[in-house]
A and B are shown apart, each in its own frame.
Chain A
Amino acid sequence: ISGVFWSFLNGRCVIFLAYLNIVCLCSASQMQTVTLIPGDGIGPEISVAVMKIFEAAKAPIQWEERNVTAIKGPGGKWMIPPDAKESMDKNKIGLKGPLKTPIAAGHPSMNLLLRKTFDLYANVRPCVSIEGYKTPYTDVNLVTIRENTEGEYSGIEHVIVDGVVQSIKLITEQASQRIAEYAFEYARNNQRASVTAVHKANIMRMSDGLFLRKCREAAEKHRDVKFTEMYLDTVCLNMVQDPTQFDVLVMPNLYGDILSDLCAGLIGGLGVTPSGNIGANGVAIFESVHGTAPDIAGKDMANPTALLLSAVMMLRHMGLHGHAKKIEAACFDTIRDEKVRTQDLGGNSKCSEFTDAICQRVRDMD
Chain B
Amino acid sequence: AQDLQLQLHYCPPPAKYGGRHTVTLIPGDGIGPELLNHVREVFRFSCVPVDFEVVHVNSALETEEDINNAITAIRRNGVALKGNIETKHTMPPSVKSRNNLLRTSLDLYANVMHCQSLPGVQTRHQNIDIMIIRENTEGEYSSLEHENVPGVVESLKIITRNNSLRIAEYAFRLAREKGRRRVTAVHKANIMKLGDGLFLQCCREVASGYPDITFDSMIVDNTTMQLVSKPQQFDVMVMPNLYGNVVSNVCAGLVGGPGLVPGANYGRDYAVFETATRNTGKSIADKNIANPTAMLLAGCMMLDHLKLHDHASSIRNAIFTTMNENRLHTADIGGQGTTSEVVQSVMRIIQSKGQLTAEF
A interface residues with partner B (beta carbon < 8 Å)? 135-137, 152-153, 155, 157-159, 162-174, 200-207, 209-210, 212, 232-234, 236-241, 254, 257-262, 264-266, 269-270
Query: Could you say which of B19-27, B250-258, B262-270 contacts chain A?
Result: B250-258
Other A-B pairs beyond A258-B243, A262-B228, 18, CB < 8 Å: A136-B124, A164-B159, A166-B158, A167-B192, A171-B155, A172-B153, A200-B242, A204-B143, A207-B155, A232-B246, A233-B249, A239-B250, A241-B253, A241-B257, A258-B224, A258-B246, A265-B229, A269-B225
Query: Could you say which of B33-41, B73-81, B92-100, B322-330 contacts chain A?
Result: B92-100
**Does any Cβ of A come within 8 Å of B161's Cβ?**
yes
B246 near A204 with CB under 8 A, answer no
Selected contact of A261 from candidates B162, B224, B249, CB within 8 Å: B224
B156 near A167 with CB under 8 A, answer yes
In the bound complex, how far is the Cα of B7 from the Cα of A153, in angstroms?
A: 37
B160 near A240 with CB under 8 A, answer no
B153 near A206 with CB under 8 A, answer yes
Query: Could you say which of B144-152, B204-212, B292-300, B310-318 contacts chain A?
Result: B144-152
In the bound complex, how far is the Cα of B163 from the Cα of A164, in angstroms?
A: 10
In the bound complex, how far is the Cα of B211 from the Cα of A20, in angstroms?
A: 79
B220 near A258 with CB under 8 A, answer yes
| Nearest neighbor of A205 in chain B, beta-carbon distance | B93
28 inter-chain pairs at a CB distance below 8 angstroms, sorted by A residue, are A136-B229, A137-B124, A152-B140, A157-B195, A158-B194, A165-B159, A165-B198, A166-B156, A167-B156, A167-B195, A170-B155, A203-B140, A205-B97, A205-B145, A206-B93, A210-B153, A234-B249, A236-B249, A236-B253, A237-B250, A240-B227, A240-B228, A241-B257, A254-B242, A257-B188, A257-B220, A262-B224, A265-B224
**Does any Cβ of A come within 8 Å of B286's Cβ?**
no
Q: Given A163-B161, A165-B158, A205-B93, are A237 and B152 also a contact pair (CB < 8 Å)?
A: no
**Does any Cβ of A come within 8 Å of B277's Cβ?**
yes
Q: A residues within 8 A CB of B221? A: 257-258, 260-262
A171 near B224 with CB under 8 A, answer no
Selected contact of A269 from candidates B146, B192, B229, B245, CB within 8 Å: B229
In the bound complex, how far is the Cα of B162 from the Cα of A165, in angstroms?
A: 11
**Does any Cβ of A come within 8 Å of B89's Cβ?**
yes
Within 8 A of A (CB), among B214-251: 220-222, 224-229, 242-243, 245-246, 248-250
Q: How far is the CB of B138 from chain A (nearest CB, A)?
A: 10
B151 near A174 with CB under 8 A, answer yes
Q: How far is the CB of A235 from chain B (nearest CB, A)?
A: 8
In the bound complex, how far is the Cα of B204 from the Cα of A90, in angstroms?
A: 49
**Does any Cβ of A come within 8 Å of B60's Cβ?**
no
9 residue pairs, one from A and one from B, having the closest CB atoms? A163-B161, A265-B225, A173-B151, A240-B253, A205-B93, A261-B221, A202-B87, A136-B124, A157-B194
Selected contact of B157 from candidates A152, A209, A210, CB within 8 Å: A152
| Nearest neighbor of B197 in chain A, beta-carbon distance | A165
Residue in B152, B155, B193, B227 with the greatest tally of chain A CB atoms within 10 Å: B155
Q: B residues within 8 A CB of A135? A: 229
Q: How far is the CB of A243 from chain B (nearest CB, A)?
A: 9
In the bound complex, how far is the Cα of B195 from the Cα of A153, in angstroms?
A: 12
Q: How far is the CB of A252 from chain B (nearest CB, A)?
A: 10
| Chain B 270-289 per-residue mask, 1 if CB under 8 angstroms from chain A, else 0 | 00000001110000000000
**Does any Cβ of A come within 8 Å of B125's Cβ?**
yes
**Does any Cβ of A come within 8 Å of B359's Cβ?**
no
In the bound complex, how far is the Cα of B151 from the Cα of A350, in angstroms?
A: 53
Q: How far is the CB of B195 from chain A (nearest CB, A)?
A: 4
Residue in A162, A174, A236 with the greatest tally of chain B CB atoms within 10 Å: A236
Q: B residues within 8 A CB of A260? A: 221
In the bound complex, how far is the Cα of B222 from the Cα of A104, in angstroms?
A: 22
In the bound complex, how far is the Cα of B227 from the Cα of A107, in angstroms?
A: 33
Q: Given A204-B155, A206-B145, are A153 and B191 also a contact pair (CB < 8 Å)?
A: yes
**Does any Cβ of A come within 8 Å of B320's Cβ?**
no
Q: B residues within 8 A CB of A233? A: 245-246, 248-249, 277-278
In the bound complex, how far is the Cα of B89 from the Cα of A167, in angstroms?
A: 25
Q: Given A237-B250, A237-B258, A262-B250, are A202 and B97 also a contact pair (CB < 8 Å)?
A: yes
In the bound complex, how far is the Cα of B97 from the Cα of A9, in angstroms?
A: 87
B227 near A205 with CB under 8 A, answer no
**Does any Cβ of A come within 8 Å of B154's Cβ?**
yes
Q: B residues within 8 A CB of A169? A: 140, 154-157
| Nearest neighbor of B224 in chain A, beta-carbon distance | A262
Q: Given A152-B157, A166-B156, A240-B253, are A157 and B193 also a contact pair (CB < 8 Å)?
A: yes
| Nearest neighbor of A235 in chain B, beta-carbon distance | B249
Q: A residues within 8 A CB of B246? A: 232-233, 236, 258
Q: How far is the CB of B70 from chain A (nearest CB, A)?
A: 18
Selected contact of B227 from candidates A257, A264, A265, CB within 8 Å: A265
B225 near A167 with CB under 8 A, answer no
Q: B residues within 8 A CB of A137? A: 124, 228
| Chain B 92-130 per-residue mask, 1 if CB under 8 angstroms from chain A, else 0 | 011111001000000000000000000000001100000
A164 near B161 with CB under 8 A, answer yes
In the bound complex, how far is the Cα of B192 from the Cα of A296, in angstroms?
A: 30
